[in-house]
Structure 1
Amino acid sequence: MNLSLAGAVENLIRLYINGTKTDPDQVVDIDAAIGKNTFVSKDGFLMSIIKVNGRQSENNHYHSYNESLKPLISKISAGIKEGVHSIHATYVKEVGKEKELVAKSIAGAREKANNYQFEGMEDLFDDQVNFISKQIIDEEVYMAVWTNTSFLRPRQIAQEKDEIEEARKELPIADDAHGLIDTYTHIKIKHENYVEAVIDGLSASGVNAEVLNRDKSMLSMAQIIYPFLSADFEFIFPDRDTFPKSKEYAGGLEDDASHMLWDSLSSQLIREDDVDVDLTEGVARVGDRYFSTFEVKNPPRNLVLFNSLGDTIKADVPCMISFSVSSASSFTFFWKKLLSTLPIPASNKRIKKSIHAVSLLKELGEPDVEYKMSVTTWSKDSEDLLENRDYLKGELSSWGNSVVRNYRGCPFDALATSIQGINSRTFGSTVYAPLSGVVAQLPLGRRLRFWRRSALNFVGNGDVLYPYSVQSSEQKYWNIGVCATMGSGKSVLLQNIAFSHLFGDTIAGEMPMVGYIDNGFSAKTMVESLIAMAPKDKKHLFKHITYENNKKFAYNIFDTQLGCRSADSDQMNQIISTLVGIITPAGEEKVHGDAANLLRKVVAEAYFTLSDKEKPRNYREGRAPKLDSALKKIGYDPTGKTYWEIVDDLFDKKKLVMAEYAQRFAVPTIQDVIQQLTISDTVNNSYKGIVAYNNEELVPYVRRALMEAIEKYPVFSGVTVLDVSMARFIVLDLDKVAKSGNAEMDKDSSVFYSLARFIVSNNMFISSTLYEVVPDKYSSYHKRRVELVKSIPKLLVYDEYHRLKSPTVIAQIKREMREGRKWSLVNLFASQLLKDFDEDMQNLLSATFLMSNDAGSPEEIKKTFGLNKDTMDYVMSELTGPKGARGASMVALFKFKKATLIQRLRFVLYPYMYWMTTSDAIDNALKQNVMSKLSVGDAIKALSSTYGFGARKVYENIGETHPDPEVKKDPIQFMGDSLVNSFRTMIAS
C-alpha cells in the first residue's frame, strides 16, 4: 500500500483534524471486571456480554418472525428509550478454524476408539474432519449490554461518591494496570436487572442465550484480533496470581508502579506494539492481520432479516457485522434539534422533519432508537483484505438496498469500536429507526446448536456444524424417531446414530450396548467393518445375524440370569408380551383380556415346577454333547446331579460361561409351559368357562395356539442355540422372516420383531428388580452386574417399526420409552410414515427426524412438527432425498425440558463412513476384494480416497469400454488389483 504525495497530504490533514488512536488504552473503555460477568468502564458505565446461541425454531418469514420478537422488544424498549441502556450486537464469522471445530466435536469419540484399540479409526475421524470442515462455517453472535450513569440521582451518587474517591486516593498510581475501583451499588443493581431482562426477553422470543463469564467475555473481544487464543484461555485479573514485570519504557512518574501490577484490560485485549494504520486505504494492522471497517450509511430499507445476509456471504470471507442500538435522545439528537431552530439554510428543514418523525413515533408509543451498522473484514494478506472488503460492500448493498461508504477516520478506532464490549462509543453512521424494525435485523435468528460433542455431526442451515448426541440430561426422555420413505437415507442415518452411540460417553471405559433390529442387509457392512477393525479380544462383541425360522436359530425366551430359578418382573413382562403376540389371531389386534394374566400364572408355575424346590431336570448324558465334553475336560462328574446343581457347582468353580450354558437345560421351554397348562388344576379351575375366541374357552385356546406356534415358529420350540450373550453390538436382520402383505404375514413380522427385541436386549434390562429372584449364592455377583449394566449406555434400534403390530408388545415398548433413563436406554425407531407413530409415541419422542416430504400429508407434517410457513416451504422443496456430497436435507424436532427446537439440518456422509456402511452390491464386492489384500483400515482408506462415494460409475465404464475382454468380464478384480498396487506404491514412496 504505497502512499502518493496527494494521499500523504490528505493523510496529514486527517491526522490533524481527527487524529489517530493507535494506543489501545485510547479505544478500550472497560477498566475492570467487578463481578463474575460484569465490567466497569473508565466512565463508570457497566457492561456484560451475552452469547446468543441461536433460535429454537428457524423462521425466515419477516412478519411472523418479527411478531415472535415482541417479548424481547417489550423487555428492552424502556431501558433504551430512557437512555440508560444500549445494546451492541455482533455477528462474527471466522475463517480457518473449521477443522478445529469438527476435531473438537469428535475428540471424545476418537479417544474412545483409541481406548478400544480399533484399527483404522484414526483415518475415519480424520476423513470426517477433512470432509465436513469444507462444508461448514465458524460463526458466533454476541450482545454487549451497556448501562450508563445518567439515571443516578444526586442523592444516590452522594451516598457512595466519597467512599469511591477515598479508594482512588489510597491506591497507588496504576494508569497501565487493571482497574481496582468498584462503582455505585445502584448502577450495579440496575445493570444486573436489565441483563436479566434481556435474557428473559430473548428466551420468551425463542432465542437461547447466556451471559458470559469474565474470561469468555474477554475472549469474545480478543479473538477477533488474536484468533490463536484457546477456548479455555484465562486472562489476568486481580484475584489471580501474576508475575511483577520490569518497566519497559522510561518516563512517567517515579512512583508509578503499575507495570508491576495486573495487566490492564486494554493491554490484554490489544497489544500496543502490534498496531499500525494506513489512513489512505483505511486499513489497520494488528499483529499479523490486516483489518478494514466500513460504515452502513443507510441500513436496509426493505423488510429483510439477517439470515438473508448471513447465509449468502461466501464461506472463505471472514467478517464481523456490528449493530448498535441506543436511545435517540442522545446528545447528537438534541444537537440536531437545536441546530434546526437556528437561522441557517432552508435545506436544514430536513433535520427538523426527521425530528418531527421521531416525535410522531413517540406519540404512537413506538420506541425510537439510534441505529448504527458497520462491517469489518480481515486477512493476513493486504490485497486479499481489499478484495474481501469490496465483496462485502456488494453483499451489504444487496441486502435490503443498504447504502455503504468508506470511513475516513482512524481505521484502528473503527475496528475497536466495532467489537462488542470494548467501549460504549460504537462506530457507524447514525440513523433513527423504530426498535421493532431494528431488532428484526439483528442476528438473533441463527441456528441453535445444543450439543457440542459427538461422533455424529450434521450441518445446520446456514452451514453451521451441528453435533448430535442421543442422550442429554436436559431431555425428559431418550427416544428417537426417524420418518422417511425409501431412498431418503434413513437406514444410513440409523447406522450413524448407532455408530456415534458406540463411541459416546460411558463410565469406567465400558463399551456401550447396541441392539439393532434390521430389515434387510443395510447394517451388515458396518458390523463386518467393525469386526474387522476391532482388536482380536473384542471381535466377539460384534454380531450380525441374518435370522431364519429354524432350530439352528432357536432362542428360549424363558432363559434367566445366571443362577436365577425364575424370571424377574422386568423379564416376565417381556415374556408375557411376546407370548400374547404369539397367541393373538392373525388380523386381530388383541386376544381376550385375561390371556396375559393366565400366561403370567402358568409361566410362573412352570418356573417353580422345574426349580430345585419341586422337580428339577436331571442331567442326562448325550442331551448336550458340548456340555458333556466341557464337563469332562475340567474333570467334573455330573452323574446323578440336576442341571441346577451343575450350574451351582460350576459357579463355585468360577466357570461362568459354562454355567450359563448348562442353565439352558435347567429352565423351562415353551413345551413346559404347554404341559403346565394341561396339568395345572389351579389354572384350569381359575379360567374355566371363560371364552376366548370363536367360542373356544381360554385355556384350551391358549394351549392350542402355543402348540401351533411350535410348529409354525421352530425358533421358539426348544433350548437356546443362538448365543449372543457376550455381544455388545448385535444386528438381527429379519428380512427372511418378517414380510408384509396379508394378515398372516403381518402377524409373523410382529412375532419375529418381538423375539428379535428379546434377543438383542437380553442383557440390557438388568436392574434391581433382579434381586427379587437372585439366590443368596449369586447375590454379590449380580449386585456388581446390576451396578455395571446400569451405567452402560444402551441403544435399541427398530428399523421398519411399522411391521410390529402387537398391541401388547407396543405397550411394553412404550413403557420402556417412559422408563428408559432408568436403564440408560435410548430407543430408536424408523418407519416410512408419520402415522406409524401414534400420538402417545410422538409425545415420548425426544427427537424426531423427518427426511422426506411424502412421509405424510402437508397438513399432517405441519401439525406433527408445529411448523411455520417458512419451514413448511423448506420441507416441500428440500426434503427430496440425498443430494450427493451435500447429503440429505431433513427437519429435526428436539424436545427438551424447557424448550422445543425445530432445526433444518443436512445429514452429510463422508467417504470413509460411506465405505463402512454402503449396501451397494458393486461397492461391497470391491471392498471385499480389497480387504482380502490389505488391512481393513488401509482398504477403506484406499477406497474412500480413490472412489469417494462409490465405484459403480467406474465399474460400468470399465465394463463397457475397456479393451481387454477379461477385464470387461470381471471389472472388480481389475479395479481391486489396480487400487491395491497404487496404494502400496504410495505407501512405499
Structure 2
Amino acid sequence: HDAVYVMRRNADPEFTDRSWRPSLPGDKITIKELKEGKGEISDIMWPSLARQILPRDADNINLRTSRVGDRIYATVFIDLFPKEVQTFVRLFSRTLQTAIPWRMSFLMESNGLGLASTRAAVASVLTVTSSQNRLISDSLKLLSYINLNSDDAVVRLRVTAATWAPEGDIRLLRARASMLAKAIEGWGSCDVSEVSGDAYEGVVSSMLGVSGKSVATPSIAPLSDVLHMLPLFRPSSPWEQGAILFRSPDGKPWPYHPGSSQQTTWIDLFYARPGSGKSVLSNALNLAVCLSSGIQRLPRIAVIDIGPSSSGLISLLKDALPAEQKHLVAYHRLRMRTDYAVNPFDTQLGCRYPTPQERSFLVNFLSLLATPVGSDKAYDGVSDMSGLIIDELYKHFADDAKPNTYAEGIEEDIDAILEEIGFVRDAATTWWEVTDALFMSGFIHEATLAQRHAMPVLADVAAICRLPAITDLYGQITVPTGEPLIHAFARMISSAVREYPIISQVTKFDLGEARIVALDLDEVAKSGGDTANRQTSVMYMLARYVLARHYYLTEDNVADMPEAYREYHQGRILEIREDPKRIVYDEFHRTANSEAVRNQVVQDMREGRKWKVQIALLSQSLEDFDSVMVEFATSIFIMEAGPEQAVRKTAQVFGLTPTAQNALRTRVHGPREGGATFLAQFATKQGQNTQLLTSTLGPIELWALNTTAEDVNLRNRLYKRIGPREARRLLAARFPSGSAAKHIEELLAEFKEEGGFIDDEATASVIDSLV
C-alpha cells in the first residue's frame, strides 16, 4: 500500500491526498454497479491498478511536451554514457543552483552485451575501413573481457530525467528543460536528447516504478561504473519524522527528534568557540521539544545559563501562549539577595524526609560547601559524614522530635486562612501541623508556603554535626590542617551561611507552576579566582536543584510519603513521568574546577533514561567535558572546526573518517547567510551516524534566539518600545538575515568618518536611531 501510494504521489501529486490508500488484492472489495457492455473484471473485483496510479488522463502537446493532470512535462534522455563517470552528488549540486524541480529514473538490464554481439562482429570486420570502427571494436572487446574475466558484470542502462511546470506555462517548462539538459551534459560529458517517439511514454519512463520499460537510448557499461552514478549515497536520517528539520549539503530535509526512542539515552554535547551558534541551536532544539507532536502539555525544560541567551526563547514561548498559560514559562536573573533565597533542604509537600534522589543531591551539595577554597574535592570522610548529618537533621525536625513551632505574623495569608477554617492553635503548634491542616482543607499553595518554615536550614547543619551520633563516628578524624574533621566541616558550613544568603534562609524564590524556566546565573556565578569558582559551583548546584528536583520522582517514592499526601503525589508524579524533561547547562566550562557539580551531572546522565530526562551541555572546547561525559554522549554538535589540533583531537575522540575531517575543516563555519553548518554525530539503536548538517531558522526565530550583543541590545530596546511580538515582526521584515550587526558596524564607520569618537554612548545613539 505504501509503495503504490508513493508511486501515485510521484505521478500526480496534486490529485493525491496524504490519507489516500490504494485498493489491492486482500483488501475488502467495495460493491459497485456493473458497467454495461464493458465486461471488465475490475467491475466485480478490485479497481485497475493502472487507473489508481494514474487517475487522470494525459495527452501529448507536441513531440517534447506532455500534459498529466495540472502539469506539463518535458523529458531529457541520456543518449551517450558519460566519458568521465561521476557521482550523483556532482549532478545534484549542479541542479541545486538552478532551483528547478526534476526527477530521474535509471533502468538497468542484465546481459548488456547480448544484443551487441552482431555489432561487435561487423565492427571487427570493418576495422580496416576507419578508425571509428576500430574504436568501437576495441570498446566492445574491453567490455567483453570485463564481463568474462572479472566479477564486474556488464549491463544495459537507460536514463530518463523529467522536469515540469504549471499547465499552460510552456516558456517556463522550456527554460527548466534547457537548464536540466545542460546540467546533465556537464555530468561527466553526456550526450542528451529531448525527443522520443511518444512524449507521454517518455514521462512515464521517468516515473517511480510505473513501467518496466524505458524509451531512452540504452548504454552499455560495467555495473561498477553504473553503481557509481546512482543516487545511493545521499544523507539519510534515522528519524522518519522530527520536531526540527536540518538540511543536508545537497539540500535534502534531515529530520531530527530530540528525546526519541531511536536513542537509548538523550545526552547532547555542543561545543565551539564563542559566536559559533551553540546557544541558538540549543534554543532551537528546546523549541523543537516544545513543538513535538503527541505531547499533551508543555514539556519541562530547565536552562541554567550565564547571560541572557535563553531570554529570547522564553519571550517567544510566552507570547505564543494564551493568557491563562503564560505563567508556565519564566526567565529569572538570580541575585545574591534574600528575596531570591532557596532552601536546598525543602522536601516534597508533606514529606518529613527527602527522597533518595534529593538526599543524594544534598550529600553532593554539602560536600561542595565543605570543600576548601582552591581544592578540587572535599576532605576524606566528608561525603559519608554528610549523609549521616542529613539523616540526623531531618530526624531532628520531624514531628516526634523538635519540629519548628508556628509563629503568627510570618505569613499573614496563612494566618487568615487558619482563622477561616477554624484551626485551633496554641504555643506548641508546629508548622507541620499547620501544613497538614491547610492541605486537608484544599489550600495546596498555602500548605507549600507553610512547609517552608518547617524545614531545616543550612545554619542548622553546623549544629547537628556536633550531635553524639556524629561525633562518635567522626570525632577522632583530623584533616591536613590539623583540626578535627567535624570542626573543619562546621567552620566551612558557617562560612557558607555568611557568604551565601541565597541558600541560608527559608525559601522565598518561587517558580510557581512554571514548566519551562531559564535561570541566568551571571550575577552570582563569577569567574576568576578560587573564591569565584567556588561560588559558581554552588550556584550551579543550587540552580539544578531549583529547576529539576521534581524531575526524578517515581511512583516508588509515594510509598514513603505520608498517607494523606499519597493520592496528590501519585497524580502529580504520573504527569511528571509522562512529560519530556530536559536540563541544559550553558557555559559548562565554568564548572571546570568543581568536582561536585560534575559528579552531579554525570549522575544525571547515568540515570536520566529512567526518568525520561534529556541532558545538554554547552561549552567552548571538547576539553571542557570529562571523558565519561563524552563517552555517554548520544548527540554531539560541533559548531566550528577550530584550530588544526582541535580537529585532530575531535577526530581521535569520535573516530571521524577522513571525509568527515575534511568536512569539519572546510564546511563547518558557524552561522552565515543561509544557516549554520555543523558536524553532528548521533548514537542511535542502528549505530553511529555522522552527518554534515545545516540549521536554517526563520527570521522571527533568529531574532528571538539571537545572542549577539548588538542584536540583543537592539531587540531589547524594541521590546520595551513596542512589545516583543511586534518587535520581532519588524526586525524580521527589516533584517531577514536575523542580525543587524553588520548594518550597525556600517553606521558606526560612517559616524567615525564624520569625526565622531566611538564609545558606548555613540553605539547606543546608533542603535537608538534604528529603533
Alpha-carbon distance change, 655 to 549 in structure 1, aligned in 2, over 3 angstroms: same
Taking the aligned partners of 2:328 and 2:38, their CA distance within structure 1 comes to 74
Taking the aligned partners of 2:580 and 2:267, their CA distance within structure 1 comes to 13
| Aligned residue among 651, 654, 657 for 1:865 | 654
User: Does 1:759 pair with 2:546?
Assistant: yes
Taking the aligned partners of 2:259 and 2:366, their CA distance within structure 1 comes to 32
Alpha-carbon offset, residue 547 of structure 1: 1.4
Alpha-carbon offset, residue 924 of structure 1: 5.1
Taking the aligned partners of 1:519 and 1:691, their CA distance within structure 2 comes to 38
> What's the CA shift string for 1:548-590, capped at 9, x where partnerless?
2232222111100010000010111111112212222233222
| Aligned residue among 458, 462, 470 for 1:683 | 470
Alpha-carbon offset, residue 889 of structure 1: 1.3
Q: What SS does the aligned partner of 2:152 have?
A: coil
Taking the aligned partners of 2:139 and 2:61, their CA distance within structure 1 comes to 36
Alpha-carbon distance change, 838 to 364 in structure 1, aligned in 2, over 3 angstroms: same
TM alignment of 1:597-636, pairs within 5 A:
597-625=384-412, 627-628=414-415, 631-632=418-419, 636=423
Alpha-carbon offset, residue 708 of structure 1: 1.5
Alpha-carbon distance change, 270 to 532 in structure 1, aligned in 2, over 3 angstroms: closer
User: Does 1:915 pair with 2:703?
Assistant: yes
Alpha-carbon distance change, 399 to 257 in structure 1, aligned in 2, over 3 angstroms: closer
| Aligned residue among 91, 101, 104 for 1:321 | 104
| Aligned residue among 19, 35, 54 for 1:270 | 54
Contact kept, 8 Å, 2:315 with 2:724, in 1: the verdict is: no
| Aligned residue among 136, 152, 155 for 1:366 | 152
User: Does 1:644 pair with 2:432?
Assistant: yes
Contact kept, 8 Å, 1:506 with 1:512, in 2: the verdict is: no
> What's the CA shift string for 1:765-786, capped at 9, x where partnerless?
2213423530111111111111
Match of residue 759 from structure 2: none
Unaligned ranges ≥5, structure 1: 1-213, 977-989
- The amino acid that maps onto 1:267 is R
Match of residue 807 from structure 1: 595
TM alignment of 1:213-224, pairs within 5 A:
214-220=1-7, 222-224=9-11
Q: What SS does the aligned partner of 1:266 have?
A: helix
Match of residue 732 from structure 1: 519
- The amino acid that maps onto 2:104 is I
| Aligned residue among 276, 284, 289 for 1:496 | 284
Match of residue 666 from structure 1: 454
User: Does 1:356 pair with 2:138?
Assistant: no
Alpha-carbon distance change, 285 to 535 in structure 1, aligned in 2, over 3 angstroms: closer
Q: What SS does the aligned partner of 1:696 have?
A: coil
- The amino acid that maps onto 2:681 is L
Alpha-carbon distance change, 338 to 593 in structure 1, aligned in 2, over 3 angstroms: farther
- The amino acid that maps onto 1:359 is S
User: Does 1:534 pair with 2:316?
Assistant: no
> What's the CA shift string for 1:668-723, capped at 9, x where partnerless?
111222211012x1221112333334343322222222112112222221211211
Contact kept, 8 Å, 1:418 with 1:427, in 2: the verdict is: no
Alpha-carbon offset, residue 725 of structure 1: 4.0
Taking the aligned partners of 2:14 and 2:122, their CA distance within structure 1 comes to 45
TM alignment of 1:463-612, pairs within 5 A:
463-505=251-293, 507=295, 509-612=296-399
Q: What SS does the aligned partner of 2:192 have?
A: strand
Contact kept, 8 Å, 2:304 with 2:518, in 1: the verdict is: yes
Contact kept, 8 Å, 1:881 with 1:889, in 2: the verdict is: yes
| Aligned residue among 298, 310, 313 for 2:92 | 310
Taking the aligned partners of 2:764 and 2:139, their CA distance within structure 1 comes to 82
Alpha-carbon distance change, 917 to 969 in structure 1, aligned in 2, over 3 angstroms: closer
Alpha-carbon distance change, 357 to 953 in structure 1, aligned in 2, over 3 angstroms: closer
Contact kept, 8 Å, 1:484 with 1:850, in 2: the verdict is: yes
TM alignment of 1:31-180, pairs within 5 A:
none
Taking the aligned partners of 2:572 and 2:163, their CA distance within structure 1 comes to 58
Taking the aligned partners of 1:581 and 1:651, their CA distance within structure 2 comes to 35
> What's the CA shift string for 1:381-440, capped at 9, x where partnerless?
222222222212211121122232344422222221232322322343333322222212
| Aligned residue among 372, 376, 380 for 2:162 | 376
User: Does 1:894 pair with 2:682?
Assistant: yes
Alpha-carbon distance change, 357 to 767 in structure 1, aligned in 2, over 3 angstroms: same
- The amino acid that maps onto 2:474 is Y
Q: What SS does the aligned partner of 1:317 have?
A: coil
Contact kept, 8 Å, 1:923 with 1:951, in 2: the verdict is: yes
Alpha-carbon distance change, 896 to 657 in structure 1, aligned in 2, over 3 angstroms: same
Alpha-carbon offset, residue 752 of structure 1: 1.3
Taking the aligned partners of 1:485 and 1:256, their CA distance within structure 2 comes to 70
Q: What SS does the aligned partner of 2:466 have?
A: helix
- The amino acid that maps onto 1:461 is P
Alpha-carbon distance change, 861 to 467 in structure 1, aligned in 2, over 3 angstroms: same
> What's the CA shift string for 1:565-617, capped at 9, x where partnerless?
00010111111112212222233222234221110111011101110122211
Match of residue 758 from structure 2: none
Alpha-carbon distance change, 796 to 333 in structure 1, aligned in 2, over 3 angstroms: same
Unaligned ranges ≥5, structure 2: 755-761
Q: What SS does the aligned partner of 1:735 have?
A: coil
- The amino acid that maps onto 1:861 is T
Alpha-carbon distance change, 317 to 636 in structure 1, aligned in 2, over 3 angstroms: same
Match of residue 579 from structure 2: 792
Alpha-carbon distance change, 360 to 709 in structure 1, aligned in 2, over 3 angstroms: same
Alpha-carbon offset, residue 971 of structure 1: 6.8
Alpha-carbon distance change, 365 to 497 in structure 1, aligned in 2, over 3 angstroms: closer
Taking the aligned partners of 2:666 and 2:582, their CA distance within structure 1 comes to 33
Alpha-carbon offset, residue 379 of structure 1: 1.7
Match of residue 606 from structure 2: 818
Contact kept, 8 Å, 2:112 with 2:221, in 1: the verdict is: no
Contact kept, 8 Å, 1:545 with 1:732, in 2: the verdict is: yes
> What's the CA shift string for 1:918-943, capped at 9, x where partnerless?
44566556555655675643443233
Match of residue 294 from structure 1: 76
- The amino acid that maps onto 2:159 is M
Alpha-carbon distance change, 958 to 246 in structure 1, aligned in 2, over 3 angstroms: farther
TM alignment of 1:450-465, pairs within 5 A:
450-465=238-253
Q: What SS does the aligned partner of 1:901 have?
A: strand
Taking the aligned partners of 1:975 and 1:359, their CA distance within structure 2 comes to 73
Match of residue 494 from structure 2: 707
Taking the aligned partners of 2:647 and 2:471, their CA distance within structure 1 comes to 54
Further displaced range: 440-449 or 555-564: 440-449
Contact kept, 8 Å, 1:527 with 1:542, in 2: the verdict is: yes
Contact kept, 8 Å, 2:243 with 2:293, in 1: the verdict is: no
Alpha-carbon offset, residue 493 of structure 1: 1.7
Taking the aligned partners of 1:832 and 1:922, their CA distance within structure 2 comes to 21
Contact kept, 8 Å, 1:373 with 1:427, in 2: the verdict is: no
Q: What SS does the aligned partner of 2:670 have?
A: coil
Alpha-carbon offset, residue 887 of structure 1: 2.0
Alpha-carbon offset, residue 660 of structure 1: 0.7
> What's the CA shift string for 1:224-262, capped at 9, x where partnerless?
3444423332123242444536649xxxx7755545543
Structural RMSD (CA) = 3.1
Alpha-carbon offset, residue 522 of structure 1: 1.5
Contact kept, 8 Å, 1:573 with 1:812, in 2: the verdict is: no
Alpha-carbon distance change, 897 to 695 in structure 1, aligned in 2, over 3 angstroms: farther
Taking the aligned partners of 2:763 and 2:144, their CA distance within structure 1 comes to 83
